[in-house]
Structure 1
Amino acid sequence: MANNVQRVELRSDWQFKQVRQGNWLPAIVPGTVHTDLMANGIIPDPFIGLNERGVQWIDKEDWIYRTAFGVDESIFSKHNVWIEFDGLDTYADVYLNDSLIIKADNMFRRWKADIRQLLKRSDNELKVYFHSPVKVDVPKWDALPYHYEAANDQSENGGLFDKKISIFARKAGYHYGWDWGPRLVTSGIWRKVSLVAWNDVRITDVYTEQPLVSKAKAKIRQTIEIFADADGMAMVQTTDHAGNNYADKKVKLEKGVNTVTLEFCINKPKLWWCNGLGKPNLYTFNVKVQKDDSSDTYTQRTGIRFIKLLTQKDEWGQEFCFELNGVRVFMKGADYIPCDNFLPRVTKSVYEKTIQDAVDVNMNMLRVWGGGIYEDDYFYELCDEKGILIWQDFMFACSLYPASGALLENIRQEAIDNVRRLRNHPCIALWCGNNECQDGWYNWGWKKRLEDQKPEYAEKVWKEYEDLFYHLLPEVVGKYHSAIAYWPSSPFGGYGHGSIETSGDYHYWAVWHAKKPISEYNNTRFRFCSEYGMQSFPEFESVKQFAPQPNDWDIYSDVMMSHQRGGMHANQLIESYLLSEYKRPKDFESLLYVGQLMQGDAMKTAIESHRREKGYCWGTLLWQINDCWPVASWATRDYYGRWKAAHYLMRNSYRDILVSPIEKDGNLQVYIVNDRLTSTSGQLSIKVLDMDGAVRNQHTKQVRVPANVSKNVFSVPVKQLLNHEQTDQVVILAEFTDREHYGNIYYLKPPKDVKFKKSAVVYQMIKVVDGYRLVISADKVARGVFLSLDGTDNFFSDNYFDLIPGAKKQVYVKTDLNEDDFRKQLKITILNNI
């Protein structure tokens, strides 16, 4: 029996206009006002040069979208026809044939309406009226005797002076600006809009719970939500992709929404594992309801796994550790923001590259940050397939919110909607209330500022905080996704105070914001470090995309400052770190290069520090993996998807075996961190090399490292190890070989104090299918070998690496350049020579 439910996406023949103007222009749906204005040549690309400044008028206007459509008989004859909007941004009135059918006020919710009685066979007119979020929310700000904190709302860039109105709208916070993003407050039909038509029965939701999971057996309980037109008997069945029956039940449906439960067992299930620990096995469940001559099928892919958050009190404070299928897992990953300010531009290929880039540097977790969006279904499907666990923030960040009355109920529906949408994804590991809001209250002065105005203001605002993050959100998670833990805030170390290093998760910003040296990472200990970072600019080829004029090639030019949302302070911090850790770069291009190397060194140092503490610390998520526009930021990949030095260096730092040398108290110690679930044995080699590559001292030993631990396997006084060599004239090469080879290069001095020699880096070139294979070598220790070509449509398999004389490095370069052009364009930069 064919499925009787039909879906038709309304993508064609859309037009839009500014309400105050008379001209209708073609529009793309899904889309935004900004992208439609760009496509029609009304505004320039806001990401280029200073163009962002000239488009701030857009969010102060009302906009209207319209389309006309007809339906064929197969739709028109159905008893039920609904229109469903997956995303409306944000204050939107929807009319069909001049009847108001939806009044939307939340970007994060899905909206639907029964349109059967309004529908015509042809010439249906659908209109969506978008109210200016500025005009809707400024009066709310004006009406209050006090104001809610919204630290990153760039109201002044939008011509609103100090009116930080982002907290009133259930809309992506980063649209109002952030310290890495522009202020581009969008409106539009940002996710698809569809007609859904059916007779008799429709499956509206399936929740697949896993109350018991072991290697021997998995118990599965499916809660199936079925909409029925009338009372009657039906058959509900779950099968696999090959049609084999898992469970079936004959049930009596009543008119309206019905809930049916099916339970079954899977013996010796193929468990879902995160990247690095095993295969992310997925099962396909086909759930079918058959009632008389009507049926509907709901297909779901999910993984069988058991994950919990361990937060026991211990002698140090409170641990914070994820356990997957009974195994404690050290989380290696990054924080994730939306990939674009104009969300419909984030294509499947962008998602695929972003997630694959995480997999390719051995990540196993991303934190979906609370100032963006609950991501597209495809994002989570990719994480399911690739074994990337997701720490999912609710959409609240770095602000306080008027969470009472209608807004609180709006948030409740938002939370229910998204928890229900995402709960079947095996990648979901945690629901977190917000990003940094609790630390803002206790540690950033928010509480005191309100108390200084009137104590009752502080009491009211804090009650709203508690109602939202201590009551409403955990209640929603407990009711709709109880198998996954809820965490009130990130960072969070307990109630009644700000975060602390010995309990829960922690955001560490003393390196960067507090100007501590990069080496300070080695003096810190956390239970789980969920944010830390170091800024860098994009590389020169990326900068030329948004700042094409040579007179803009200065980090203090108007264009570069516009693409540095940390302002003068951030640029000065970068310069300060460069001078204290490196040497002054000779020109703009060199500054970009050294800045990237600095960020890479910083992230390498931090990651290794956290991983050496494995057993006390159980996770490291750096800020951040991506950008939403071309900008100087903490991202390890720039807006164009190009890997920065930090992303390349992270690959080795996140491998399943880490060899990590560190000088402590006059001794060189070497740790081996083993993330495998089995022990390993092999040979450890420690070599002291001079800058010509000559071995000045060497130690080898056989070592055994148990499963899933960090172990100090070697320690010797530095003076003894160096054997009269100077600390600024040597490099230490630490290598471990079991079934694979693992290595790490360590310097005893910061780069500015190491006496590198001028070096010649040479290469052999071999043509391969989609580019070239280079075999690279150097006559001296070469620091930070950086390969580049013109443009951003190429990729290097490795970059910003160090070369030891005598060693040969193979790098694959993806490019369509011919051999002559490739040789002319290839540029090799090393720290030694600049």
Structure 2
Amino acid sequence: MYRQDLHDGWTLRATGGPVPADIAGQTVTAEIPGSTHTDLLAAGLIPDPYLDQNETALAWMHRADWRYSRELALEPAAAGERVDLVFEGLDTVAEVRLDDVHVGRAANQHRSYRFDVRWAADGAARTLAVDLRSALEHAEALRDRLGARPAAYDHPFNMVRKMACSFGWDWGPDLQTAGIWKPVRVERWRTARLAQIRPLVTVDNDGTGQVAVHVEVERSGLAGSQDAALVLRARIGDVEAEAALAPGQDSATVSVAVPHAPLWWPVGHGAQPLLDLDVTLEDAASPTADPLDSWRRRIGFRTVELDTQPDEFGSSFTLRVNGRPIFVKGANWIPDDHLLTRITRAQVVRRVDQALGANLNLLRVWGGGVYESEDFYDVCDERGVLVWQDFLLACAAYPEEDPLWDEFEAEARENVARLTPHASLVLWNGGNENLWGFEDWGWKDRLSGATWGRRYATELFPAIVAELDPTRPYMDGSPYSPATAPEGTHPNDPDHGTHHEWDVWNRVDYSAYRHHVPRFCSEFGFQGPPAWATLERAVRNPDGSPLAKTDPVFLLHQKADDGNGKLDRGLAPHLGVPAEFADWHWATQLNQARAVTHAIDHYRAWWPRTTGAIVWQINDCWPVTSWAAVDGDERPKPLWYALRHAFADRVLSVHERDGRLALAVVNDSPELWHGSVRLRRELFDGTLLAEAHQAVSVGARSVAMLPLPDDVRIPGDPRHEVLVAELDGVRTAHLWVEDVALDLDPTPLDATATPADGGYRVDVTARSLARDVTLLVDRLDPDARVDDALVTLPAGASVTFWVRTSTRLDEGALTSAPVLRTANDLRVAARANDSALVGAPAE
């Protein structure tokens, strides 16, 4: 097999649509892989679509047509040699031509294409052209032919197999990219090639790892190829096995047994050993010749099961790896840059490491994005981050008629097979919120009996997974209630299967998270703006005036329906609504962190009834106000620190159980946690009012609930008192009323900053209760980072923050607002608005 990359020498020009006069007729250098946006941006012909209001200025690109072209001379093919033109990914509606000869068509971003071009292998120079039509206009034409189907947004993204969020989402821009978005190459091969390889991994009870390597070969179709006998070899370390393919046979299975196989575990549960699996295809008549084709991937030995059996609470949803039930500490993953071709392996490493830094053990690849790159799954394999993979449907009714049915089947088959080697992939999911949408979003009347995608979720995808990847579980959708639930159970019933909690954020206060005990919450979250430095770089008023939350440029980077209104209504009962933008920015970031923590503490306290929490979302694809923990410039928001605290192996939190307060002692570590919990009720200034000690012993991967003694759980004056619980350096502070009703000291801290290796040391001591002490260091240096945030200090307690920066900072600025912030200072900031907004209902 000879491979020649075709990434050089390409040009791009517009061929149709409402193209501005200064771009029409221009030919620019194209980078492959790439997109029209990245190429025009590199040529200086369009502004950065992520900055200010440029997204709106580039709406003309939705209806533009394009041509990528380059010269291609294919050396004459040898006797018996096949010559293929391979596109790993085209975005999206494309025709491929060599000179005036049609080579092939594409209409699916989520699959690859292979065209036989042996006829053109004669040494003559030809023009290879890829003509891209507007995906929007293609989708509109199919909508008109098949009939409209409901969707979450105005564009008919459900009519074309393209990244759904390319058409905009409530956190993403509406750019509608086009391009050759994955590698393109020429492949020359003889006799046969490896067309598909699926290593299916299991582990026997005696610890022997079994790998059934299912191989499909493509024979060239040239003289003698059908008559050739072939040999497949598979090797893992020192263990090798082979299988013969008789003339005309195009598939076989090679079985490899690895005694005492080292187990691959999720992060926090063990190591992640990976072994090379090598597969070669040989011509049986030439055993000493070079292989016809070869393939290598890394695999890990582990088993995975999904338990959805009924119990006294409903239908369970428990993920087991190597037989061990796992509490899923997860986040939803969206494409890490809306302009996909800019994402590098180094960027994926940074983002997955941020997920690990937040104590996550699972990422859910959401159905409105893409099947991620090999880099993504490789990095998750290496780090033990579990992957939940959606099939790519989201928030819409999808026609089941052709051509969409065939496209769904082709992309599903290709990607299920492609991802089988990855130990991190543990679950296939039929789509996002489509089953729920059919029930609750008014679809039934609008559909009038038309197809909407149920058969994808309940027939096509499970059949493909059962055929190609039976080692992994499949679920119909998220949310969904499994077949073990009573007939007619709502797909978002919290007592059965998976649940999405979006009444919080959309309609009710975040305290409502604790009104239900879901079996597994696969989506929940709360919004907050990006870091201050991100706003300063990317969201600016055209006249240079200071930013306000009502400015059009800010609102363009706030995609949620009534997003700012929901932020204010979410603030009012808890922190109040500050008038000044800098205070409002801090308050909304803090409220986002508080809301999500409130949910996670609740879910973890109910283990093993509740078996997982997947927050929406870990990452952003551009600078925007959103639910993300890491913003579009890669800066951690306060929410990221909140996730790290709430998902730590060992946490304490206070809950109401059976009508009285109890302390949840959560131990997700592999060791017993035992000791004596110190409980104290004290005034904010540290005056001790009551104290108790309670012995506790919590087994590994377990939770204990300790009823609290009356003298510490019942306050005398809730406006001035706090309950503090501590065990082995783990601490929680419980208050009986919201911040808006507390008499907090607005300036409770003494702080000093001193230079240290790699930055600064900031020592902070509380004279009075200080809630959520945080350093917003990006306000001084956009590249600065701090090791911790959201640290609540009872009176007399101290904390040291370590600031990493290569810039000399003002030490006084490090220890004062607006860099050093607490929840306490928001009582002063919000007071002007309290009378109007405190107590306003969260609708």
Task: Give the structure 2 partner of residue 565 of structure 1.
Answer: 559
Higher alpha-carbon deviation: 817-826 or 655-664:
817-826
> What secondary structure sits across from 1:351 in the alignment?
helix
> What TM-score, normalized by structure 1, do the two folds share?
0.91
> What secondary structure sits across from 1:459 in the alignment?
coil
Return the match for 2:469 from 470, 477, 481.
Answer: 481
State the Cα distance separating 1:506 from its structure 2 match: 0.5
Q: Deviations over 1:710-739 (max 9, x none)?
A: 21134223xx216764222223322222xx
The CA RMSD measured in Å over matched residues stands at 2.3
Contact 1:637-1:647 within 8 A present in 2 as well: yes
Q: How does 1:681-760 map to 2 (within 5 A)?
A: 681-717=674-710, 720-721=711-712, 725-737=716-728, 741-757=729-745, 758-760=747-749
Contact 1:687-1:697 within 8 A present in 2 as well: yes
Q: How does 1:486-565 map to 2 (within 5 A)?
A: 486-494=474-482, 496=488, 497-515=490-508, 517-549=509-541, 550-551=544-545, 553-565=547-559
1: distance between equivalents of 2:588 and 2:415? 39
Task: Give the structure 2 partner of residue 621 of structure 1.
Answer: 614
Instruction: Rate the CA distance shift 1:311–1:250 in 2: closer, same or farther, 3 A.
Output: closer
2: distance between equivalents of 1:120 and 1:816? 58
Q: Deviations over 1:581-625 (max 9, x none)?
A: 112324101101010110101111100100111111111111111
2: distance between equivalents of 1:424 and 1:26? 37
Q: Deviations over 1:274-304 (max 9, x none)?
A: 1111112211112223332131331110111
Instruction: Rate the CA distance shift 1:701–1:449 in 2: closer, same or farther, 3 A.
Output: same
State the Cα distance separating 1:666 from its structure 2 match: 6.1
Q: How does 1:360-375 map to 2 (within 5 A)?
A: 360-375=357-372
Task: Give the structure 2 partner of residue 659 of structure 1.
Answer: 652
Q: Deviations over 1:740-798 (max 9, x none)?
A: x4332322222222221122341342421x43343333332222222123353222111
Q: Deviations over 1:223-271 (max 9, x none)?
A: 233345534445433333xxx431233624535x722322232222211
Return the match for 1:68 from 48, 67, 71.
Answer: 71
Contact 2:198-2:418 within 8 A present in 1 as well: no
State the Cα distance separating 1:377 from its structure 2 match: 1.2
Task: Give the structure 2 partner of residue 271 of structure 1.
Answer: 263
Task: Give the structure 2 partner of residue 39 of structure 1.
Answer: 42
Contact 1:389-1:428 within 8 A present in 2 as well: yes
Task: Give the structure 1 partner of residue 830 of structure 2.
Answer: none
Return the match for 1:105 from 97, 107, 115.
Answer: 107
Return the match for 2:233 from 233, 237, 247.
Answer: 237
Task: Give the structure 2 partner of residue 159 of structure 1.
Answer: none
Q: Does 1:346 align with 2:363?
A: no
State the Cα distance separating 1:97 from its structure 2 match: 4.0
Return the match for 1:302 from 299, 302, 327.
Answer: 299
Contact 1:761-1:828 within 8 A present in 2 as well: no
2: distance between equivalents of 1:101 and 1:534? 48
Return the match for 1:429 from 420, 426, 429.
Answer: 426
Instruction: Rate the CA distance shift 1:716–1:519 in 2: closer, same or farther, 3 A.
Output: farther
Instruction: Rate the CA distance shift 1:638–1:615 in 2: closer, same or farther, 3 A.
Output: same
Contact 2:235-2:279 within 8 A present in 1 as well: yes
> What secondary structure sits across from 2:708 in the alignment?
strand
State the Cα distance separating 1:214 from its structure 2 match: 4.1
Higher alpha-carbon deviation: 281-290 or 691-700:
691-700
Contact 1:32-1:344 within 8 A present in 2 as well: yes
2: distance between equivalents of 1:724 and 1:422? 56
The unaligned stretches of length 5 or more in structure 2 are 17-23, 827-843
2: distance between equivalents of 1:656 and 1:209? 32
The unaligned stretches of length 5 or more in structure 1 are 154-163, 451-457
State the Cα distance separating 1:680 from its structure 2 match: 2.9
2: distance between equivalents of 1:233 and 1:723? 82
Instruction: Rate the CA distance shift 1:663–1:468 in 2: closer, same or farther, 3 A.
Output: closer
Q: Does 1:388 align with 2:368?
A: no
Task: Give the structure 2 partner of residue 251 of structure 1.
Answer: 244
Return the match for 2:31 from 28, 31, 37.
Answer: 28
State the Cα distance separating 1:686 from its structure 2 match: 1.9
Higher alpha-carbon deviation: 245-254 or 613-622:
245-254
Instruction: Rate the CA distance shift 1:644–1:76 in 2: closer, same or farther, 3 A.
Output: farther
State the Cα distance separating 1:7 from its structure 2 match: 2.3
Higher alpha-carbon deviation: 587-596 or 805-814:
805-814
Instruction: Rate the CA distance shift 1:377–1:42 in 2: closer, same or farther, 3 A.
Output: same
Q: Does 1:765 align with 2:754?
A: yes
Contact 2:387-2:427 within 8 A present in 1 as well: yes
State the Cα distance separating 1:319 from its structure 2 match: 0.8
Return the match for 1:138 from 137, 140, 151.
Answer: 140
> What secondary structure sits across from 2:233 in the alignment?
strand
Task: Give the structure 1 partner of residue 20 of structure 2.
Answer: none
Q: Does 1:813 align with 2:794?
A: no
- Equivalent AA in structure 2 for residue 31 of structure 1: G
- Equivalent AA in structure 2 for residue 147 of structure 1: A
- Equivalent AA in structure 2 for residue 219 of structure 1: Q
Q: Does 1:797 align with 2:799?
A: no
- Equivalent AA in structure 1 for residue 304 of structure 2: I
Q: Does 1:91 align with 2:90?
A: no
Higher alpha-carbon deviation: 622-631 or 754-763:
754-763
Q: Deviations over 1:405-428 (max 9, x none)?
A: 222111111110111111221111
Contact 1:29-1:190 within 8 A present in 2 as well: yes
Task: Give the structure 2 partner of residue 17 of structure 1.
Answer: 13
Task: Give the structure 1 partner of residue 19 of structure 2.
Answer: none
> What secondary structure sits across from 2:461 in the alignment?
helix
2: distance between equivalents of 1:223 and 1:132? 39
> What secondary structure sits across from 1:196 in the alignment?
strand
Q: Deviations over 1:43-82 (max 9, x none)?
A: 1112111111111111211100012245679x97981332
Q: Equivalent pairs: percent with the same residue?
A: 29
> What TM-score, normalized by structure 2, do the two folds share?
0.90
1: distance between equivalents of 2:382 and 2:241? 28
Q: Deviations over 1:75-101 (max 9, x none)?
A: 979813322111101100111343222
2: distance between equivalents of 1:742 and 1:30? 48
Q: How does 1:629-648 map to 2 (within 5 A)?
A: 629-648=622-641
1: distance between equivalents of 2:246 and 2:605? 58
Count residues with an aligned counterpart: 797
> What secondary structure sits across from 2:626 in the alignment?
coil
> What secondary structure sits across from 1:535 in the alignment?
coil
- Equivalent AA in structure 2 for residue 129 of structure 1: D
Contact 2:529-2:624 within 8 A present in 1 as well: yes
Task: Give the structure 2 partner of residue 167 of structure 1.
Answer: 158
Q: How does 1:191-210 map to 2 (within 5 A)?
A: 191-210=182-201
2: distance between equivalents of 1:72 and 1:791? 55
2: distance between equivalents of 1:388 and 1:340? 20
Higher alpha-carbon deviation: 519-528 or 790-799:
790-799
Instruction: Rate the CA distance shift 1:218–1:553 in 2: closer, same or farther, 3 A.
Output: same
Task: Give the structure 2 partner of residue 158 of structure 1.
Answer: none
Q: Does 1:576 align with 2:577?
A: no
Contact 2:170-2:559 within 8 A present in 1 as well: yes
Task: Give the structure 1 partner of residue 586 of structure 2.
Answer: 593
> What secondary structure sits across from 2:264 in the alignment?
coil
Task: Give the structure 2 partner of residue 445 of structure 1.
Answer: 442
Task: Give the structure 2 partner of residue 186 of structure 1.
Answer: 177
Contact 2:787-2:802 within 8 A present in 1 as well: yes
